[in-house]
Amino acid sequence: MSFWNDPLKVAADWLEGVFTGWGMNADAAHVLVAFLGVFLLIAILMVIDIFLVWVERKVVARFQDRLGPNRVGPFGLIQPFADIIKLIIKEDTTPGNADKVVYNLAPILSMMSVLILWAVVPLAPVMLGTDLNVGALFLIAAGAIGTLSIIMAGWASNNKFALIGGFRQVAVMVSFEIPMLTVLMIPVIFAESMNMNAIIAAQSTWYFLISPLGALIFLVAAIAELGRAPFDLAEGESELVSGFNIEYSGMKFGMFYAGELLHAFTFGGFWAILFFGGYRFLGLEQVSPFLAILILIIKAMLGYWVIMWVKYTMMRIRIDQMLAFNWKFLTPLAFALLLVTALMNALLASAPAWLYTLGMILANIVTGWIAIEIARSATRSEREHIEGGKKPAEAHH
Amino acid sequence: MVPHSWYLILAAALFSVGMFGVLARRNAVAILLGVELMLNAVNINLVSFWRYSDVFSMSGQVFSIIVFAVTAAEVSVGLALVISMYRRRNTVIANDVDMLKF
Amino acid sequence: MTAQQIIFILIALFTLGSAVMVVTTRNLVHAALWLVSTLFGVAAVYALLNANFIAVVQVVIYIGAIAILFIFAVMLTRKDMRDAGPQINKNWWAGVLVSLLVFGGLVYMLREWSGFTKTASELPPGFDSIGLLGEALVSPNAYVLPFEVASVLLLAALVGAVYVAFNPRAGNSDK
């Protein structure tokens, strides 16, 4: 077993040897090495996070036909560091009558809810935080902590805009969790496991190919969970100033901001893991774990890019429309899709691979088509209902 | 290994704390918070009995799942009642809602 | 004392301390947040008991849904949220007495029981409690009936909660 095949284990064994060589208890050395591993992962993520600021600003600039940051360093690459210095030296304000402890705890929880997700992300076949057998549910559990941090920030700020923003965001997150949890079960059905590594190992064909509709619903629900446009009602600059983080300044705001960016990148990664084969690409992941990490990061970046693409080309929708969209369209569709997928999976269990794939795609298309037809006829009748009274007056124009 | 008794004592203590909340609090929402603590204590017991007896018989975990479902139902209806009460009578103090007392 | 016992004691103290704060804090939003920390402690207890699925479900359902619902309810009934008179009724000493009696009685009765000091057996290698749990929940020989009844109960609670909390005046005003 060489360093290039299993770098983590080799490094951990070596470090444990060093620590026990210093006369440390074997158990204590094990715990210390695990702790160092966590620390290393978080440090790498934070460095990625810094450059995500640059990526986000560069991409939005391209979408809006601008150049983006290009003054500080080559291609503006040093810009995020300048931003960080600015955030750190800014005055750290706390509103009067704010609930100090809860107010200061909220940004930490927000960041934590994102970082904790990486505990179950398999970076390579042999490199992963913990091989949890409930990985898919863990995703939702970490989202629960994020929800909590937002309601805490909104309430503790002692500001009505913050509270309204927090309420909205929590209503959105709690309701969009349902379709997300439902479509998460689709890869679980295919892989017959909730373990992330097992889900990747079972994807000899990408699950996007056999459940495109599931992948799409997951993306929509993920964007809603992130609170990004078109679902960024919590921020709603035009009506709520900035939403739940209005009172935060300096690095505390920076933690919300960095947390949001990393969250988007993380969901890009989960989209890749659940529906696009994770670190697998043409067998290249077998060559070296480092190549596998590179593949996963590229796929996560592509997912992140799709999320940004949606954000910068769609307009914000109204909160009641959004909740109605979830409860009346997305949730029933997710339930129907889960039922259809489970049924087809059982029916086609013994069919050859091409028939299985074809049947699954057809089932997805038919489910999506029926859902869209139902939604279309419902909205059409609603429009007639609203415009019915006005029509004679408008006919003369 | 941790002896079974520790889990049972933890559950009993949590149950008693929740019971105190239910008996002593005036606010109806706070009473429901106490009920949550009691249900959690029950769940600790169920899961610990699963772990400390035959792990292949899943009764303990299944019961705790059903307790989860019942709790979700109880909380949603209970809080709906509290909010409805607040709308109609403008109070959430359990003592003030005594229309059926005599 | 082994490492696992130390971890258990830390988690138990954290859980019980948070639980005491839940029932004694005056500010109800704080009480709900202390409930969240209690629930985290209980999830950690499940993790110690090797019940991964239950631990994660605890976080998803209790913290992600129930605790958030509590915080919402506290905020919607805001008038009595802060310092409106005593938070504890005048017979609180009876509550303390009954709770202590229950605790003492439970521990006393359990002391007589033979399995009180039993330690858990090692889990068999490759043991997968999730698969067994899933089979138990939907198998006709096991718990499919309670499982279905629970789902009907949830549906009834959903409808009932909407009906009870629905404000007809507010609902009609914008029509």
Instruction: Examine the pLDDT at A39 and tell me if it is beyond 70.
Output: yes
Quote the tokens at residue A292.
């596998």
User: Do C150 and B66 make contact, defined as CB atoms within 8 angstroms?
Assistant: yes
Q: What is the pLDDT, as a whole number, of residue C172?
A: 47
b/e per residue, B19-38, with b = 16+ CB within 10 A? bbbbbbbbbbbbbbbbbbbb
Instruction: Examine the pLDDT at A296 and tell me if it is beyond 70.
Output: yes
Question: Which one of B2, B50, B57, B96 makes the best mutation probe of the C interface by having the most chain C beta carbons within 10 Å?
Answer: B2
Instruction: Examine the pLDDT at B4 and tell me if it is beyond 80.
Output: yes
Quote the tokens at residue B6.
């520790």
**Distance from C-alpha of A132 to C-alpha of A256, rounded to nearest angstrom:** 27
Mean pLDDT across chain A, nearest whole number?
84
Distance, in angstroms, between C79 CA and closest chain B CA?
A: 8
Per-residue pLDDT, averaged over A277-305, amounts to 84
Chain A positions touching C158 (Cβ under 8 A) are none
From the list C65, C68, C128, which residue is nearest A133 (CB)?
A: C128
Enumerate the domain spans of chain B.
27-89
Chain A positions touching C63 (Cβ under 8 A) are 141, 144-145, 148
3-state secondary structure of C21: helix
Q: Which residues contact B35 (CB under 8 A, 6 or more apart)?
A: B18, B22, B74, B78
Distance, in angstroms, between A238 CA and closest chain C CA?
A: 23
Instruction: Examine the pLDDT at A159 and tell me if it is beyond 60.
Output: yes
Residue type at A355?
Answer: L
Which pLDDT band holds residue C170 (cuts at 50, 70, 90)? low
Residue A74, preceding peptide bond in cis (omega within 30° of 0):
no
Chain B positions touching C16 (Cβ under 8 A) are 10, 13-14, 17
Instruction: Examine the pLDDT at A69 and tell me if it is beyond 50.
Output: yes
Cβ within 8 Å of C, A 92-111: 99, 102
Q: What is the pLDDT, as a whole number, of residue C173?
A: 43
The answer to ipTM > 0.85 is: yes
- The torsion region of residue A6 among left (phi > 0), alpha (psi -120 to 50) and beta comes to beta
pTM of the complete model: 0.87
From the list C58, C72, C98, which residue is nearest B23 (CB)?
A: C98
SS3 readout for chain A = CCCCCCHHHHHHHHHHHHHHHCCCCHHHHHHHHHHHHHHHHHHHHHHHHHHHHHHHHHHHHHHCCCCCCCCCCHHHCCHHHHHHHHHHHCCCCCCCCCCHHHHHHHHHHHHHHHHHHHHCCEEECCEECCCCCCHHHHHHHHHHHHHHHHHHHHHHCCCHHHHHHHHHHHHHHHHHHHHHHHHHHHHHHHHCCCCHHHHHHCCCCCHHHHCHHHHHHHHHHHHHHHCCCCCCCCCCHHHHCCHHHCCCCHHHHHHHHHHHHHHHHHHHHHHHHHHCCCCCCCCHHHCCHHHHHHHHHHHHHHHHHHHHHHHHHCCCCCHHHHHHHHHHHHHHHHHHHHHHHHHHHHHCCCCCHHHHHHHHHHHHHHHHHHHHHHHHHHHHHHHHHHHCCCHHHHCCC
Chain C positions touching B40 (Cβ under 8 A) are 38-39, 42, 62
Which pLDDT band holds residue A291 (cuts at 50, 70, 90)? confident
Q: Please give the interface size between B and C, counted as residue pairs whose CB atoms are below 8 Å apart.
A: 254
Instruction: Examine the pLDDT at C81 and tell me if it is beyond 50.
Output: no
Cβ within 8 Å of A, C 35-94: 36, 52-53, 56-57, 59-60, 63-65, 67-68, 71-72, 75
Contact B51, B2 (CB under 8 A): no
Q: How far is CA A388 from CA A384, A385, A394, A396, C175, in A?
A: 5, 5, 11, 15, 15
Q: Which residues contact C102 (CB under 8 A, 6 or more apart)?
A: B12, B15, B16, B19
Chain C positions touching A146 (Cβ under 8 A) are none
Q: How many alpha carbons fall within 13 Å on the CB side of residue A344?
A: 22
Which pLDDT band holds residue B102 (cuts at 50, 70, 90)? low
Chain C positions touching A143 (Cβ under 8 A) are 64
Chain A positions touching C3 (Cβ under 8 A) are 27
Cβ within 8 Å of A, C 2-21: 3
Give percent of chain A with pLDDT exceeding 70.
95
User: Which residues partner with C16 through β-bridges?
Assistant: none
Contacting partners of chain A (3+ CB pairs under 8 A): C
